[in-house]
Amino acid sequence: MSCPENKHRSLLKNKKRIVIKVGTSSITYDNGKINLRFIDHLARQISDLKNSGLQVILVTSGAIGVGLPELGFEKKPDYLPYKQAAAAVGQGILMNIYEHTFHEYGQVVAQMLLTKGDAVNSSRYLYMKGTLVSLLELGAIPIINENDAVTADEIKIGDNDTLSAIVASISDADLLIILSDIDGLYDADPRTHENARIIHEVPEFTRSLFSMAGGSGTARGTGGMYTKLQAAEICVRSGIDMIVAKSDEPEILYRLVEGEQLGTLFYAENVHPQLKKRDIIIGTAVKGRIYVDKGCSEAILQKGSSLLPVGIVSVEGQFSDGDTVAVYCGDTELARGITHYNNADIEKIKGCHSEKLESLLGYAPPYETVIHRDNLLIMR
């Protein structure tokens, strides 16, 4: 009889959308120069996984680390504008290498630079999610980094471990793989405890795990095990499995996806899909109301439909596209969601079928839905 750990690992073969994060210490040498062999190895595995039918998003660190030696720095400076300058130089170099390498394996890549505001602002969140999903549907591989060249420390997401977890949550990924220079989570810091043992499976995430984390990672990176645990907490609470594993293991991505017991696997909590939307929708102020008819109400509640203009009866309040609004049928709140249209435009298109939107609005509408079901949280 197989143990629960092996059973859970075997389920990794069924994942369809994966986020992979690589750290600075994995993609560069100690002198800050890019590790081309690792980049090639990484690109080949990701390309092959995509060819097999998986959708893959790559979150990469390294812009500052790559830019530092180009500007004559031997270590990361404390002065923020210098770090931003290094990021500006390094990002272009890094993306050029990724683009060239993935192209050799027949892949199209797309660069996305994100900030904390993209994750917490409902309008920018909506556009980021739409861009990510569209890139995947069109067969591209999104390559994501934090926009360190323009982001001040106080408004940074913090580190790319956390960024990768946020991307996994926003993109509705099935699995996050963090590749690092550490094997996984140990029961004690292996750098100071020679008898420390790796923990291969974490069936239930608890805050006590943070006591096992050591300090930060390498001088070129920003993370350590602590930031990976922060990422794990985001993932498991969002219903996403997460693995931390050593990046230089041969064929590491193949082996992890096939269920081999490498690194540390954090089990996802059994989260209802609706609850994944709660933070972004409930956490923002409701700017207005949209009232719908009974047929639209039934379609939303019973069929999981998007909110279409044809089912809208009236609009209340002043709001813009990207704002959170409440959806009512009579006096009952059915749902909350992020709208694609402002209140004035909804007034023009309410009760109408999608093919009439352009003539009513005077421009080609970007969306046929007023609120897409992916951005609609049922409140009943």
- Per residue in 136-148, pLDDT (tens digit) is 999 999 999 887 7
Q: Is 208 annotated as a binding residue?
A: no
Query: What single-letter DSSP state applies at residue 364?
Result: -
Q: Is 225 annotated as a binding residue?
A: yes
* More confident of the two residues 279 and 242: 242
Q: Is 148 annotated as a binding residue?
A: yes
**Total of domains in the chain:** 2
Q: Is 284 annotated as a binding residue?
A: no
Band the pLDDT of 273: cuts 50, 70, 90: low
DSSP per residue, 38-102: HHHHHHHHHHHHHHTT-EEEEEE--HHHHHHHHTT-SS--S-HHHHHHHHHHHHHHHHHHHHHHH
Q: Is 350 annotated as a binding residue?
A: no
144: amino acid identity, one letter: I
Q: Is 10 annotated as a binding residue?
A: no
pLDDT at 121: 61
Q: Is 121 annotated as a binding residue?
A: no
Q: How far apart are CA 246 and CA 192, in angstroms?
A: 19
Domain holding 243, by residue range, is: 4-271
What pLDDT digit, counting tens, does each position of 283-339 carry?
A: 567 899 999 999 999 999 999 899 999 999 999 999 988 888 999 999 999 988 889
| Shared-domain flag, residues 210 and 333 | no
| Shared-domain flag, residues 176 and 284 | no
| Shared-domain flag, residues 154 and 285 | no
| Shared-domain flag, residues 267 and 284 | no
Band the pLDDT of 155: cuts 50, 70, 90: very low
CATH of the domain at 313: 2.30.130.10
What pLDDT digit, counting tens, does each position of 366-377 carry?
A: 889 999 888 888
Cβ atoms of 59 and 120 closer than 8 Å: no
| Shared-domain flag, residues 228 and 290 | no
Report how far apart, in Å, the C-alpha atoms of 117 and of each of 114, 154, 157, 236 are.
8, 12, 9, 23
Q: Is 128 annotated as a binding residue?
A: no
| Shared-domain flag, residues 295 and 327 | yes
Q: Taking the model in full, what pTM does it have?
A: 0.74
Q: Is 303 annotated as a binding residue?
A: no
Q: Is 21 annotated as a binding residue?
A: yes
| Shared-domain flag, residues 267 and 285 | no
Cα 287 → chain centroid: 26
Q: Specify which of 180-194, 343-357, 360-374 reaches the highest per-range mean pLDDT.
A: 343-357
What pLDDT digit, counting tens, does each position of 224-236 carry?
A: 788 899 889 888 8
Average pLDDT in the chain: 86
Q: Is 118 annotated as a binding residue?
A: no
| Shared-domain flag, residues 365 and 339 | yes
Question: Dihedral sign, CA of 119, 123, 124, 128?
Answer: positive
| Shared-domain flag, residues 265 and 281 | no
| Shared-domain flag, residues 157 and 176 | yes
Q: How far apart are CA 66 and CA 151, in angstroms?
A: 18
- Which of 210, 243, 271 finishes a domain? 271
Q: Is 279 annotated as a binding residue?
A: no
Band the pLDDT of 89: cuts 50, 70, 90: very high
Q: Is 228 annotated as a binding residue?
A: yes
